[in-house]
Amino acid sequence: MNKTIVLAAVLSPHLLLAQTPSPRPDKPVPVKQYTIDQFMATTRVGGATFSPDEKSILFHSNKSGIFNVYSTPLSGGEPKQLTNSTKESTYIVSAFPNDARFLYRYDKGGNENEHIYLRALDGTERDLTPGEKTKANFLTWSQDRKSFFFSTNARDPKFFDIYEMALVDLTPKLIYKDETGFQFGDISNDRKLIAFGKPGKTTADSDVYLFNIETKDMKHLTPHTGDVENDPQTFDVNSKYLYFLSNEGGEFKYIARYDLKTGQREAVEKAPWDVSLMAFSRNGKYRVVATNEDARTKIKILEEASGQTVDLPSLPEGDISGINISDTETKMAFYHEGSRAPANLYVYDFKTKKLAKLTESLNPEINAADLVDGRVARYKSFDGLEIPAILYQPHGASAQQKVPAIVKVHGGPGGQARMPYSASTQFLVNHGYCVIDVNNRGSGGYGKTFYLADDQKHGREPLWDCVEAKKYLASLGYVDEKKIGIMGGSYGGYMVLAALTFKPDEFQAGVDLFGISNWVRTLQSIPPYWESQRKSLYAEIGDPEKQLSMLREISPLFHAEKITKPLMVLQGANDPRVIKPESDEIVAAIKKRGGVVEYVLFDNEGHGFTKKANEVRAYKAILDFLDKHLKDAEAVRGKAG
């Protein structure tokens, strides 16, 4: 289970360790600055599903301003827009196996109650999972491609029942009624077994269960003691094995498999990092394995019969993600992105070894040479714990030309700062800000012990890791230590509020994007479909019934009088994870005592941004705020004096 709020000689301990690249030369490099409109003109793309004839790929893109579904030929050419939403961001789910119909999904204004929709041959839309408060999830196709499986909480908002929908009549058939909080993993090709994951008592504790559809028997496959994560991945094509990830007996997740006939379990593949994914192509010719290696995703594709690794095409340094191998197992669609290169869609032909790039995401007005590569950095925290981070040094930053800086904090709390392209980060760096994206204790990807190191310590040790990041920045020689701010979203937004509340003298300004100000209310108002994770969430943060005083102690709202530095708050009005009152009340509390706070509210967003216009508005406001209160802080103080 992911710990994500669904809602790393005597010298300074803050110096970079030896393996980190040294700073750039002091010689300034001419760099063109770009507006936020130019950065957001870069296209975001995702999803990849082959058409039945495998001559084109359907994907989603925000080229129109919000996400819509597009189709692009494998031979190249301009993508064709297939949906024309102007209100709700719309995402591809899957093409139909035998005709031009396809499935897609969207919610209403960011409320996260997504439905599955069918685009019919005549272009009309049909909601396959109706219900005002229904949330639905596409799961997988049947092996024969005559039906697909999906889950929905229409019966009980707390739990997701599983249905099969035959293409011949599009009538749903219930195959599993959930009253416990199991999470779907996979269904065997013979339609006899369903693999489930089940959250445990903590965010680092989960189990694998096996449900027999005919007998209704539920079998626990991974009994254990202590904190062990077990996550179901896939059945093999012949329904002989169930593959799952486990970190039992070690720090990192590895691939294990369970023999469905004998009940024997064995480890299949281990790595010195977490294995994050394992999957088979449709007929089992290829096995795909992904590992999370120091904030980068590494992909390996194996030919199952021979066990040999498949040679992949040569690409610039970056991450491969979103792999989809065609049903004929002759082609592979995937995305590739790096720090200075946003995700682009590619297709690779296994037989001819030909690689085709199907999209050009970066705005042509932007020269990638004006952007910067992220670099892995590590520093020692207050207690000697090594903290990994991603460092972005602006062009021209030097001891003679010091720059302001931002400590950036990811969401989660068990998320991870990663290397691929971030338009908002590149925008700030392009405008002269050094950014360090911190993987404070509790972040995923660095082993079980590091992952658990923040439990019941929020507002303290993880926050202190971010304070140490500020001290590390000051040690670099090219950062102005008097001009360091903090910024983050979701749990990272909480960290911003916590920093300005509990360490009020450390950062000169803060930017909170949909962050938690009151843990008591947030934990009491979690969406009903998070019910299966309630215990583990309480173990991670605190129980609002049993630990009320502790949660009040770490909630910035109850100590807002301590906030003395300028704060910007951004919030989606329809956010179901961090609800609007979390931002309303902290802003009101600061205004009441005459503090400096700016509030930017988005009426048509939820937990994050899905519309370009809102991203432009948000990050223009953020840059203006930082320029005023951080970059020009001394001038502002001088005028005030």
pLDDT digits (tens, 9 = 90+) for 79-110: 999 999 999 999 999 999 999 999 999 999 99
Q: Which residues contact 215 (CB under 8 A, 6 or more apart)?
A: none
Query: Which two structure tokens, joined as six digits, stand for 191?
Result: 């339609």
pLDDT the model gives residue 638: 39
Would you state the structure tokens that stand for residue 124, as one six-digit string? 């009309």
In this prediction, residue 634 carries a pLDDT of 53
Considering only CA atoms, which of 421, 415, 418 is closest in space to residue 376? 418
Determine the Cα–Cα distance for residues 99 and 302; give it in Å rounded to an integer.
Answer: 31
Q: List the CATH code of the domain at 372-640.
A: 3.40.50.1820
Cis peptide upstream of residue 23 (ω within 30 degrees of 0):
no
Mean pLDDT of 494-501: 98
Give me the DSSP letters along 292-312: EETTEEEEEEEETTT-PBPPP
Chain-centroid distance, C-alpha 201: 23
Whether 555 contacts 542, CB under 8 Å: no
Contacts of 222 (CB under 8 A, 6+ apart): 207, 208, 228, 230, 244, 246, 248
Which structure tokens are listed for 474?
Answer: 């000051």
What is the bridge-based pairing of β-strands 265-269 and 274-280? unpaired
pLDDT score at 373: 97
> 28 pLDDT band (50/70/90 cuts)?
low
Burial of 169 (0-12, 13-18, 19+ CB in 10 A): exposed
Structural contact between residues 323 and 299, judged by C-beta atoms closer than 8 angstroms: yes
Residue 523 pLDDT greater than 80, yes or no: yes
Residues with Cβ < 8 Å from 39, sequence gap 6 or more? 363, 366, 423, 424, 426, 427, 430, 619
Q: What φ, ψ does residue 345 adopt, rounded to 5°?
A: -90, 130
SS3 at position 262: coil
- What pLDDT was estimated at residue 571? 98
Question: What integer is the mean pLDDT of 277-300?
Answer: 97
Query: Does residue 574 contact residue 111 with C-beta atoms inside 8 Å?
Result: yes
pLDDT in tens, 136-145: 999 999 999 9
Residues sharing a CB contact under 8 Å with residue 600, sequence separation 6 or more, in sequence order = 568, 569, 570, 571, 617, 618, 621
